[in-house]
Amino acid sequence: MPHAAVDTVTLTIDGHHLTVPKGTLVIEAARQAGVMVPHFCYHPKLKPDANCRMCLVEVEKMPKLQTACSTPVAEGMVVRTATTVVNEAHKSVLEFILANHPLDCPVCDQGGRCDLQDFSHQYTPTTSRFIEVKRVFPKEYFSPLIETQMNRCVQCLRCVRYCDEVMDVKALAPSGRGTMTEIKSFLHHELDCEFCGGCVQICPVGAITSRLSMYEYRPWMLKRADTVCTYCGDGCQITIQTKDNQLVEVMSAQGAGRNNGDLCARGFFGYHVSTHPDRLRHPLIRRDGVLVQATWEEALELVAETAVRLKLAHGPNAFAGLIAARCTNEDLYLFQKFMRLAIGTNHLDSSARYGQINGVRALRRVQGTHRWTVTFEDIVSADALLLVGTNITETNPITGLKVKEAVKKRQATLLTIDSLEPAVGAISNIANLSSHHFSVHPDRFKPAVLGLIKAVVEDGHVDPTLAQRAPAYLQTISDSVQDLSWPAIEAATGGTPESFREAARTFARSARAVILIGQGVLRTADGYGLATTLLDLLLLTGQHGRPGCGLAPLAEENNDQGAVEMGAVAEYLPGPGDLSDPAARSRVAQLWKEDLPQEPGLTLMPMLERARAGALKAMFIVGENPVGSLPLSAKAKEALQSLEFLACQELFLTETAQLAHVVLPACSYAEKDGTFTNTEGHVQAVRHAIDPIGESRPDWEIFSALSVLMGYPLEYGDAKEILKEIRSLIPDYGRLGPAPTPMRPATEAVDGYLHTGYATDAADRYALSGTGHEARGAGNDGHLTLLIAQSLFHSGKLSTRSKGLLQVQAEGSLTLNPADAARLGLADRDQVRVTNNLGAMTTTVMLAERVPKGLVLFPEHFDQEARRLLTVSTDPVTQVPYYKLTQVTIERL
């Protein structure tokens, strides 16, 4: 639907004439005219509440002063914000607030950036007529991370409204009434919430502050660096504030970045990772079996010499490299260049292999793009959003906020296919906002998607032009879904034919439809196939290729997308271009002035297999920890132990680094410059906030130094020079702008897919069988399905070294449905043994309504023991290792 031209209104504010869209609030119009109207309760993210009366202004022809924060502009309106009457009003409002506000600015963390201080400075008379005693609230402990100082509260309720309207968490209660209103949680209980820090950020005074940095600074002492969070693919812009090279706090300015100043707990409270005492400060070399401190010269020379020696003896394909997608684009780019040129092998891979690659490969296959065709803005303005296999509020919290905004503020229809049930809890749950929720087992997303497609086909929602454009394609899919029986779909998913029909109708009829898929799709068997099938859904409904519509796979790590685009995966060159595509090869070879290695690259799992077989001799592992991440049955440890030489670049001595012959200390994101590419393909600047810890160096610098010593100099002055080279391969890469320009599907690619491409695996993709664990336990045989899942409070294993996040979640526990718990005779916090044929682990249980019956969840961040119970299967096409699901039995200890 073309959006109707916006009506405008012309008005005058303090003599400025201006024209603004109809519906604009006077306070916003004033801002545009450069006039700041003082305010407390107003915030652009929140609905007007007009409770503080600070923003009163004079409007001609209106008898009384008006609140600028809740008055919409009108044609010809004449507003005055600085008359004597208005100033008097400001004075009296402040006099009332200051009647109770303590004069503790010298010990208040907000001092120096406090709205009340600023407005008082501007409007308050120097004397107060108030002689009564001030209101005093008894001090109460609020939470481990967030502190309240209610005597300072001006009762604007911004915190409460943010927690409800934006976060959908509703953890804050304004208790009592009038002046005695106090922001609390629930009775005397400490706060239990998402710890997004939003209330801290939005409080105009120092009434809600972070405990992590309490009393540590005065705002004007802090040095600021605008950079990007390292904890998930959303890529939030953060400002790291430091004092004497110490990390003091993180904030994100209103309007900043793709996150618009919103953050999650990981971004707001997780920053202490970089200065953890366990950070590696010096290079380590293995001598007589133990890792001992060495100088950079010794360590680099040892790596270079060994590499040269092994290369001579066994050839370049005896090497392999693995890099974490937490690194910058510059690191990733230079890593693959180093592996391909200095070593001479394509055996390189990154953590994008764990799932991201499934999404990218599906997008490339069907529409020839490696990125989303939508942006966060398209999510916000979508009419229908379909979420499949994503607990988005925990994995990608800020993309989750966009979904919440679409549903709560703009009345989008939300459809969800996920294993979690709608249930109100301490953290938000996107299923609560869904109007078509299919709660299916984590290995049953495919039958649910097929149900939707069947309904689309049977109920005539298919794009009429498709019959001409791709008759065979349409025929194949129509036949396949007609062959599926509704009872079988219902048996697999629990969804009735009617529920699929209604959902399909809503989805297909929406003008702007976005499908978001998460780890539930990308990291479980069939991930690649299911992502492809979801693109079929868009093709069938005719929404594919329409602006504002598309499939959006959610990136797990901050630079998963960059890792693919930089060619830091086995099958791609920078671009990404297919390693097997002669044109792509020659473009890269031309720029590098060197031929590329011929042999196709090994991906992660085959790499480990080859190492175990003794065919690989040496590996470079950069920030990746296969020994700590993969199930024990993957035998990553055995594989790495079979190597003649293992070099690791790491922040910490991880399980993997402990096996290395040389460990080189690398800088964390807070110490480097470069770029990250977020889940929507937006390239953003990373800037160092502190100096490198110890002797650590940025990863790219280490590759560069090694290449020089190996006689293949890849020299760069700084990260910017690498970005320049990246730009000569990928024009305009990371021309930093406020928002990404979404890609358009390539017509040739879509045509290719519609004519032949779809056929290779259509039979498999449209079959109900083969959906993984056939014998899943609904509980009757005592079996439950264990899902290793991501938690809101952590990111991989990295964040488990953040002191802030550990205060919210310090260990793993098994979450299960209260009904299952009752059946097993378990109560909250009971100790249990979890067993299957591979092994056992002990842990505590937690009950949660949102976990469906038959399923138990354990956080991947603390899965050291759980990894014993898991097996790995590998995607036949994309070689993604799947190991998040298994069957277990549980008994009380």
Partner 1 sequence: MLKEKYKAEIDEILSRYPVRRSALLPLLYLAQQEEGYVSEPAMKEIASILRLTPPQVYETVTFYTMFNLKPIGRFHIQVCKSLMCALVGSDPLIGWLEAKLDVKPGDTTKDGLFTLSKVECLGACGTGPMMQINSDYYERLTEEKVDRILADLKRDGTSTLKSGPFMWPEPAQRA
- Residues near ligand SF4, by CB under 6 A: 146, 153-159, 162-163, 167, 169, 171-172, 183, 191, 193-199, 203-205, 207-208, 229, 231-232, 234-236, 259, 263-264, 266-267, 397-398
Dist. CA 421–CA 500, nearest whole Å: 17
What is the number of other CB atoms lying within 10 angstroms of the CB of residue 782?
A: 12
Task: Based on the shown chain and the rule CB under 8 A, indicate whether residue 818 belongs to the binding site for partner 1.
Answer: no
Q: Are 404 and 165 in contact (CB under 8 A)?
A: no
Binder to partner 1 among 51, 124, 148, 185 (CB under 8 A)? 185
| Cα atoms in the 13 Å half-sphere on the side-chain side of 461 | 27
Task: Based on the shown chain and the rule CB under 8 A, indicate whether residue 432 belongs to the binding site for partner 1.
Answer: yes
Whichever of 110 and 603 has its CB closer to ligand SF4, that residue is 110
DSSP summary character for residue 363: H
- DSSP symbols for 841-870: EEEEEEE-TTSPTTEEEEEGGG-TTGGGG-
Query: Two tokens at 156?
Result: 């604007």
C-alpha distances in Å from residue 883, one per residue of 631, 655, 835: 7, 19, 16
Whichever of 93 and 193 has its CB closer to ligand SF4, that residue is 193
What is the closest distance, in whole angstroms, from the C-beta atom of residue 171 to partner 1 in the complex? 6
Whichever of 195 and 333 has its CB closer to ligand SF4, that residue is 195
Task: Based on the shown chain and the rule CB under 6 A, indicate whether residue 42 belongs to the binding site for ligand FES.
Answer: yes
Whichever of 196 and 643 has its CB closer to partner 1, that residue is 196
Q: Which residues of 588-620 are buried (b: 16+ CB within 10 A; e: fewer)?
A: beeebeeebbeeebbbbbbbbbbbbeeebbbbb
What is the closest distance, in whole angstroms, from the C-beta atom of residue 165 to ligand FES in the complex? 16
Binder to ligand FES among 30, 33, 69, 334 (CB under 6 A)? 69
Q: Are 669 and 694 in contact (CB under 8 A)?
A: no
Query: Two tokens at 114?
Result: 């406090």
Residue 53 binding: pick among ligand FES, partner 1, ligand SF4, none (C-beta 5-8 Å cut-off by kind): ligand FES
Binder to partner 1 among 64, 177, 593, 735 (CB under 8 A)? 177
**H or E stretch covering 93:** helix 84-100
Task: Based on the shown chain and the rule CB under 8 A, indicate whether residue 439 belongs to the binding site for partner 1.
Answer: no
Query: Two tokens at 515?
Result: 């499908």
Which position has the token pair 């900043």? 256
Task: Based on the shown chain and the rule CB under 8 A, indicate whether residue 187 belongs to the binding site for partner 1.
Answer: yes
Task: Based on the shown chain and the rule CB under 8 A, indicate whether residue 828 belongs to the binding site for partner 1.
Answer: no
What is the closest distance, in whole angstroms, from the C-beta atom of residue 203 to ligand FES in the complex? 14
Residue 175 binding: pick among ligand FES, partner 1, ligand SF4, none (C-beta 5-8 Å cut-off by kind): partner 1
What is the number of other CB atoms lying within 10 angstroms of the CB of residue 190?
A: 12
Binder to partner 1 among 72, 174, 752, 818 (CB under 8 A)? 174
What is the closest distance, in whole angstroms, from the C-beta atom of residue 364 to partner 1 in the complex? 42
Residue 486: alpha-carbon gap to chain centroid: 36
Q: Which stretch binds partner 1 (CB under 8 A): 182-190, 225-233, 465-473, 696-704?
A: 182-190
Dist. CA 173–CA 160, nearest whole Å: 7
Residue 432 binding: pick among ligand SF4, partner 1, ligand FES, none (C-beta 5-8 Å cut-off by kind): partner 1
Binder to ligand FES among 11, 35, 41, 607 (CB under 6 A)? 41
Task: Based on the shown chain and the rule CB under 6 A, indicate whether residue 18 belongs to the binding site for ligand FES.
Answer: no
- One-letter amino acid for residue 440 of the chain: V
Residue 397 binding: pick among partner 1, ligand SF4, ligand FES, none (C-beta 5-8 Å cut-off by kind): ligand SF4
Q: Which stretch binds partner 1 (CB under 8 A): 165-173, 449-457, 501-509, 565-573?
A: 165-173
Strand 146-148 versus strand 56-59 pairing type: unpaired
Residue 337 binding: pick among ligand SF4, partner 1, ligand FES, none (C-beta 5-8 Å cut-off by kind): none
What end-to-end distance do the CA atoms of the chain give, in Å?
60
Whichever of 444 and 850 has its CB closer to partner 1, that residue is 850
Burial class (CB in 10 A: 0-12, 13-18, 19+), 387: buried
Question: How many residues bind to partner 1 according to rule CB under 8 A?
Answer: 16
What is the number of other CB atoms lying within 10 angstroms of the CB of residue 265?
A: 26
Residues within the interface to partner 1 (CB under 8 A):
169-177, 184-187, 424, 426, 432
